[in-house]
Structure 1
């Protein structure tokens, strides 16, 4: 079935056909199954791995790179994953058991082992011999890392071996390469690639021994996952949800947050109910209410996006978050003045009501300051509670801007108008 079919087509077929997914997957040649599996969502991976037997899993794990095999095994529960690991071929098993020792959510969880360590004083013919042995064993050309007295000096590019003029390694041939500790958080790894673009980084232990390598393509995939998770989090959608999930699966992932949203909507409605008499006397208030609330919600989401990015990129921490909150409140106040003047002008010109214009302008200023406060504060609170700072924060921020926005707008109207 898979002969001549592109990987993207296979992934689309598996994603779009939940009823026949297992049959389709079994029709793919084992040498491709592992790579195709890793392109599927985490939930689909777990579903297929649960339904496949151990022999079928072994058939596609053995041809995989050890780091990829490790990624798959981490989606299988114990003790089954341990039994499968013990049956892997010797080379893959040794590497997998080494990789499984590390936290999958730290830098070591992203590394691969396709590298070769050589000493600074080795001659190029000897290096070529070692590279050849490595290629014969793994079928891959390794990244060549140069050390001197156990200290990492850098990388020796493969082109140097092909274009060599002497049999000695020169300092100019050794290219500097970045390094990071094995227990560094994933966000720190991402940050290192974003701030100092490079195509690979060496993972070191606490004694500066080389453990593995992380390539930039791994980071690009990770950034994409983080962006998807954050985007879903803003909307109150589980990151495990797939575009083509069944309707009932989508309901399962979404209904809890929607019920919470319903409760917060009633809270905002109850505030409006307190000023029923005021609204009945000045019906124009109902026209401008969505503007005050909507502007607050949008400003809050902007502050939220900045705060979440700051947390992810380690630009802000909980202990230094006060400055962020104050800055967002000031920015909200200035934007409130700008937009407040505009909406007040509209109310004066079109509704011939300077008093209404004043109420609208003041409500806009106060609500945008409020939006900056909650937009920056809510992700900090969620982070301090050990929760994803992007996870459905918009629900709470929108509630705050709606409730306070309505209360200030209608409260001022009841006093002034």
Structure 2
């Protein structure tokens, strides 16, 4: 979090103290007002003074807080003082809107100063024509490296990797390697290990910086290198790579192509972004929301993205309504059933969602698979049964006192046991079945689990009540 003190430039009549964020961590509206005034006045000196030494994350937050028409004007007024890394910190929709308004030469100049992974993030937000124009304005070496990353699939390690790394031959000494790093001006901004390659670029090993600095200068790199370095394939899915970093506590890993040639490096900060993206997508999918939806999206886009799952839920609700229709006679004879029915459905829906959330997350992290599936199913069934018994006693007593009859308490008690048991089983079986069929359970489980719990809840409650009162 950046906390900045700013004074008006020399032509001001008074000293103004502004903080970017207030005490709660939100953007200070007075600071935002000062930025807006400076943009409207085209006062680039004032703007540079206000955002001086801003972290790119804070600059990204500032861009999102500004009105859409002020964002590209801010970048143009700041000129070379604007850090294009800030565009990787904003919503995709905001970034695309900004890039559409900027001149191609401005984008090319900004991209040239970025690390390759950040440059790729910005380039993939452009359409093919604009992307080609920007790449044409870059030096040949940079253009080839970025184009290679862009050629990999969108969710792969190759698209996420940094192409800036340090690689040396195995016969170099520790002293030569250290001198090389001291004398080279364009080293990566951050790195944790030195890679070892042969003349054809094949990865032979890696040397951690701490081991390099602890070794004597005459020692060769081959003597101290790890000949089984952490590596991932460029075509490997970013979620699998993130899982490897999490499992083995990695800080960085080499990225190799199909011929084991070193093409880049994955860093832990890249993995943090991947984990955030995947978690964000899973949470949205569980709620039936498009993973690409952002707060900055238009009303029409948001409405269209949410419509499909709402339509699916409506269809499943119609099925549940038909189940209720089967017991129309029982509902007419006993109003208590209509009053208590939403309670049964609500309890089943919440229980099913709890189990489904745990199951989907376990499938995503590979904690749930064929080896332990039946054990987890049995556990969830027992949990559902125990909860069913407990809530059957609680709700049964409440209903008996409420309607002055023990029979209705007994009926809703049996229904509670049934619905919570089937909700638990539905919450675990549905994600497992979808995963087995190759369908993302995070995207599709919600409507199916909701349908199962509603149908079972209504059918068990009304069915038990009908049978009970006919006896």
Measure the CA separation in 1 of the matches of 2:131 and 2:256: 27
Q: Does 1:41 align with 2:101?
A: no
**1:200 offset after TM fit, Å?**
1.4
Q: Which residue of 2 aligns with 1:337?
A: 389
> Which range is displaced more, 196-205 or 211-220?
196-205
Please give the secondary structure, in 1, of the residue aligned with 2:443: coil
CA contact (8 A) 1:123 1:167 kept: yes
Q: Does 1:76 align with 2:126?
A: yes
Residue number among 165, 177, 189 corresponding to 1:140 in the alignment? 189
Q: Does 1:399 align with 2:451?
A: yes
Q: Does 1:100 align with 2:150?
A: yes
**1:295 offset after TM fit, Å?**
1.6
Measure the CA separation in 2 of the matches of 1:267 and 1:374: 17
Aligned residue-pair number? 415
Q: Which residue of 2 aligns with 1:109?
A: 159
CA contact (8 A) 1:302 1:375 kept: yes
Q: Does 1:183 align with 2:232?
A: no
CA contact (8 A) 2:158 2:234 kept: yes
**1:415 offset after TM fit, Å?**
1.0
- Mapping of residues 9-88 of structure 1, within 5 Å: 9-16=58-65, 17-30=67-80, 32-88=82-138
Measure the CA separation in 2 of the matches of 1:251 and 1:50: 23
Measure the CA separation in 1 of the matches of 2:298 and 2:144: 40
Q: Does 1:299 align with 2:351?
A: yes
Measure the CA separation in 1 of the matches of 2:463 and 2:422: 16
**1:167 offset after TM fit, Å?**
3.2
Measure the CA separation in 1 of the matches of 2:217 and 2:311: 72
Residue number among 213, 218, 233 corresponding to 2:270 in the alignment? 218
**1:322 offset after TM fit, Å?**
6.8
CA contact (8 A) 1:182 1:205 kept: yes
Question: Structure 1's 109 and 328: CA in aligned 2 closer, same or farther, altered over 3 A?
Answer: farther
Question: Structure 1's 383 and 25: CA in aligned 2 closer, same or farther, altered over 3 A?
Answer: farther
> Which range is displaced more, 97-106 or 186-195?
97-106
Measure the CA separation in 1 of the matches of 2:369 and 2:300: 39
> Which range is displaced more, 332-341 or 171-180?
171-180
Q: Does 1:369 align with 2:421?
A: yes
Q: Which residue of 1 aligns with 2:326?
A: 274
Q: Does 1:167 align with 2:213?
A: no
- Return the TM-score normalized by structure 2: 0.77
> Which range is displaced more, 21-30 or 167-176?
167-176
- Mapping of residues 280-295 of structure 1, within 5 Å: 280-295=332-347
Measure the CA separation in 2 of the matches of 1:24 and 1:43: 17
Please give the secondary structure, in 2, of the residue aligned with 1:399: helix
> Which range is displaced more, 146-155 or 65-74?
146-155
- Return the TM-score normalized by structure 1: 0.85
**1:382 offset after TM fit, Å?**
4.8
Please give the secondary structure, in 1, of the residue aligned with 2:151: coil
**1:160 offset after TM fit, Å?**
4.0
Task: Encode CA deviations 1:150-203: one digit per residue, 9 max, x unaligned.
Answer: 664432316843x65543258996578522233322221121122221211222
**1:62 offset after TM fit, Å?**
0.9
Task: Encode CA deviations 1:304-355: one digit per residue, 9 max, x unaligned.
Answer: 2122223322334589867765654454334333433433344456555443
Task: Encode CA deviations 1:100-159: one digit per residue, 9 max, x unaligned.
Answer: 3322312222211232123444222211232235x4134636544354876644323168
Question: Structure 1's 383 and 27: CA in aligned 2 closer, same or farther, altered over 3 A?
Answer: farther
Question: Structure 1's 62 and 187: CA in aligned 2 closer, same or farther, altered over 3 A?
Answer: same
CA contact (8 A) 1:379 1:389 kept: yes
> Which range is displaced more, 195-204 or 247-256?
247-256
